[in-house]
A and B are shown apart, each in its own frame.
Chain A
Amino acid sequence: MIDLHSVSFRYRQDWVLREISFQIRKGEFVGVIGPNGSGKSTLLKTLCRLLSPQTGEILLDLVPLKEMSQREIARKIAVVPQEAYSLFPFRVIEMVLMGRSPYLGRLMFEGARDLEIAKKAMEWTETLPIGERYVDEISGGERKRVFIARALVQEPEVILLDEPTANLDIHHQVDFLELILNLNREKGLTIAMASHDLNIASEYCDRLILVQGGKVYKMGTPREVITRENIEKVYGCKVWVDENPISGMPRITLLKKGDRSVEALERG
């Protein structure tokens, strides 16, 4: 349902994305991984036309993204930002209702139906009890869920997440990812998530896209992508990859430089 055909993008001089082509199918949970500066965030931004690629084409349900209005895109693709501070704080319910914006005409106010949709989304994300509080007075974890609620209120087909677990403790990381997984499994939403946390990506994503220098280095299931060879090549550091004993998915362990016991492990 999202097709990229040799998409290239540059800000000023150097190409940040180089001829990237791939497909994200409906209902998939895709992770985009890669080192800092590899183009992960830029790639996500082109998917919702926060940035427009200079060459190549992005199709959303076979319609070129550049032929759609920003409003049409917002009804199909929602973005969960890492953080979004409002200069003057709104209440949680007001922030969530902003997700109805792509459906509201000029000079229109959110009506009973919009409020109903917002409440459902807030129930789903367990933010209903904090609905009357100000967005800057709740915790970072709660704010993340508020942004998810706002994204749901857009009634999208696709949700894009940029580093969703950054700044969250492990408890909130798990809570948040379970929520995303539920949206994917139960609501059939397509998820594309950029992440630095390879273990999380490995556990939760159906498919991973490993990018390096603005190109797709490797694409496939976590087992195919998260191998010691791939990761060491792309990230340029020593890692150990084995299996998570519970889920059986690949698991990464960082290694200290010059750690000799690696060789012992390699020998088995």
Chain B
Amino acid sequence: MFMKILTLKKVVTVSFLLAGLLVGVILFSVMVGSVKVEPKHSVSILIQSLLGLTGTGTEMERTIILSLRFPRALLAGLVGAGLSVSGAVFQALLRNPLADPYILGVSSGSAVGAIIAILLGLSALSFGLPLASFAGALITIALVFYFGKQEGKIHPNILLLAGVITGSFLSAIIMFLLSISQKEELHTILFWLMGNFSFANPRAIGIVLPYIGAGFFLLYWNSRHLNLILSGEENALQLGVDVERLKIISYLSASLITAASVSLCGLIGFVGLIIPHSVRLLFGPDHRLLLPASALIGASFLIASDTLARTLLAPVELPVGVITAAFGGPFFIYLLRKRKVVKTL
């Protein structure tokens, strides 16, 4: 009897196709914007510069494409990939379909860092805002793991409680800081909290890429073992997995990816929750395919959302979080109604 099983070939093929989709979305996002640049020009400027040629286009067109739209698309792609992968892993590790990258309070910690930076005027410095929010996220991760460990072991439910409680404590700090903020600061803070790429500094790509890249590599390294832990820790242990090491590596990698993503663009919701579920519906729960497919689809989704965010009401720019939530929310409700997400729910 013929049985279909996951093969390397399938993973490579699917990744290749999804990478094609991603390239298409990037090209589209480079073509559109509040300043009109002839679409053909946009693409040729981009391709020529990637090939190291200088060619067509006015100085202004070149600046818009190469310094604004393209880096921004890359950044959105990186963050979309990061949040989707870490969401998928948190769902597996916590064995909770409602888990997302922010569930352990990393987002609240990073928000506190960002708000303090804005209130102290550090956001004027080129890396002031991302560094402060990254620091806030790292401190939160350390605290949550300190509270969540028992007898040197990580228990998913205890860690979850520690994360949720740390998160709500930090929310209290956020509300306190908001209530003492001035009007102009409030606007900046709210925009950050809603998720936004207009703060993003293109040079930040180089800084964030190593964290997201290393995190993704470590998670993919453990991808087969993540399949086994879906049926419980004892199950994974008796199939030969060093479960405690798997948990430490995976939790920390996913948390670091989240911290790095959030520090760039604030709290973009829904991506980390709906992308993994949607990809499971398409390709099944095997992490060897789920992780790369989530990364690529998440990247495409967030680039597309950001393109909408900056063109829908141009020249006014919407927070991208508004778009992801506006599309993600109803879509997720649809999935839930179909009861397709998790059969045991």
A residues near B, CB below 8 A? 45, 48-50, 69-75, 77-79, 81, 84-90, 93-94, 97-99, 101-102, 104, 106-110, 115, 119, 128-129, 131-132, 134, 136-137, 154
**Stretch of B19-27, B204-212, B239-247, B293-301 contacting A (4+ beta carbons < 8 Å):** B239-247
Q: Flag whether B192 is at the interface (Cβ < 8 A).
A: no
Chain A residues with Cβ below 8 Å from B267 are none
Chain B residues with Cβ below 8 Å from A86 are 230-231, 285
Interface residues of B in 74-113 (CB under 8 A from A): 91-92, 95-97
> Can you name the residue of chain B whose Cβ is closest to the Cβ of A99?
B239
- How close is A69's CB to chain B, nearest CB, in angstroms? 8
* B234 contacts A50, C-beta separation under 8 Å: yes
* A107 contacts B221, C-beta separation under 8 Å: yes
* B5 contacts A101, C-beta separation under 8 Å: no
**How many angstroms between the C-alpha atoms of A132 and B6 in the bound complex?**
13
Per-position contact with A for B314-345: 1 when CB-CB < 8 Å, else 0? 00000000000000000000000000001110
Q: Flag whether B179 is at the interface (Cβ < 8 A).
A: no
* A50 contacts B239, C-beta separation under 8 Å: no
**Which of B231, B238, B280: most chain A CB closer than 10 A?**
B238
**How many angstroms between the C-alpha atoms of A48 and B240 in the bound complex?**
10
- Top 7 A-B residue pairs of the complex, sorted by shortest distance between their CB atoms: A74-B240, A102-B240, A88-B285, A71-B240, A84-B231, A79-B238, A86-B231
Contact A109 to B8, CB < 8 A, known contacts A78-B238, A87-B230, A104-B224: yes
- How close is B93's CB to chain A, nearest CB, in angstroms? 10
**How many angstroms between the C-alpha atoms of A144 and B56 in the bound complex?**
67
Contact A109 to B97, CB < 8 A, known contacts A102-B240, A119-B3, A134-B343: no
**How many angstroms between the C-alpha atoms of A61 and B286 in the bound complex?**
35
* A88 contacts B5, C-beta separation under 8 Å: no
- Count A-B pairs with CB separation below 8 Å: 106
B residues near A, CB below 8 A? 1, 3-8, 11, 91-92, 95-97, 220-225, 227-228, 230-232, 234-235, 237-242, 280, 284-286, 288, 342-344
Contacts A75-B240, A90-B230, A109-B11 aside, 17 further interface pairs with beta carbons under 8 A come to A45-B234, A48-B238, A50-B238, A69-B242, A72-B240, A74-B238, A87-B91, A88-B97, A94-B6, A106-B221, A107-B223, A107-B224, A109-B7, A109-B288, A115-B5, A131-B3, A136-B343
> Can you name the residue of chain A whose Cβ is closest to the Cβ of B1?
A128
**How many angstroms between the C-alpha atoms of A78 and B240 in the bound complex?**
10
* A101 contacts B286, C-beta separation under 8 Å: no
* B3 contacts A93, C-beta separation under 8 Å: yes
Contact A93 to B5, CB < 8 A, known contacts A85-B344, A101-B239: yes
Chain B residues with Cβ below 8 Å from A137 are 343
> Can you name the residue of chain B whose Cβ is closest to the Cβ of A137?
B343
Contact A132 to B3, CB < 8 A, known contacts A87-B342, A109-B8: yes
- How close is B246's CB to chain A, nearest CB, in angstroms? 10
Contact A94 to B5, CB < 8 A, known contacts A50-B234, A88-B285, A101-B224: yes
Chain A residues with Cβ below 8 Å from B224 are 101, 104, 106-108
> Can you name the residue of chain A whose Cβ is closest to the Cβ of B3?
A93
- How close is B15's CB to chain A, nearest CB, in angstroms? 14
> Can you name the residue of chain A whose Cβ is closest to the Cβ of B88?
A88
**How many angstroms between the C-alpha atoms of A90 and B220 in the bound complex?**
19
* B221 contacts A81, C-beta separation under 8 Å: no
Chain B residues with Cβ below 8 Å from A128 are 1
25 sample A-B contacts, Cβ–Cβ < 8 Å, listed by A number: A48-B238, A69-B242, A70-B241, A72-B240, A81-B235, A84-B231, A84-B235, A85-B231, A86-B230, A86-B285, A87-B344, A88-B230, A88-B285, A89-B343, A90-B230, A90-B285, A93-B3, A94-B6, A97-B5, A99-B239, A102-B240, A109-B6, A115-B3, A115-B5, A134-B343
Chain B residues with Cβ below 8 Å from A104 are 224
**How many angstroms between the C-alpha atoms of A89 and B231 in the bound complex?**
9
Contact A87 to B92, CB < 8 A, known contacts A106-B221, A107-B220: yes
* A94 contacts B238, C-beta separation under 8 Å: no
**How many angstroms between the C-alpha atoms of A132 and B5 in the bound complex?**
10
* A70 contacts B342, C-beta separation under 8 Å: no
**How many angstroms between the C-alpha atoms of A71 and B6 in the bound complex?**
22
* B1 contacts A81, C-beta separation under 8 Å: no
> Can you name the residue of chain B whose Cβ is closest to the Cβ of A84?
B231
Chain A residues with Cβ below 8 Å from B239 are 74, 98-99, 101-102, 154
**How many angstroms between the C-alpha atoms of A81 and B241 in the bound complex?**
16
**How many angstroms between the C-alpha atoms of A119 and B91 in the bound complex?**
31
**How many angstroms between the C-alpha atoms of A89 and B345 in the bound complex?**
12
Chain A residues with Cβ below 8 Å from B288 are 109
> Can you name the residue of chain A whose Cβ is closest to the Cβ of B241?
A70
**How many angstroms between the C-alpha atoms of A108 and B223 in the bound complex?**
10
Chain A residues with Cβ below 8 Å from B225 are 101
Chain B residues with Cβ below 8 Å from A69 are 240, 242
Chain B residues with Cβ below 8 Å from A45 are 234
**How many angstroms between the C-alpha atoms of A99 and B227 in the bound complex?**
12
**How many angstroms between the C-alpha atoms of A86 and B238 in the bound complex?**
15
Chain A residues with Cβ below 8 Å from B221 are 106-107
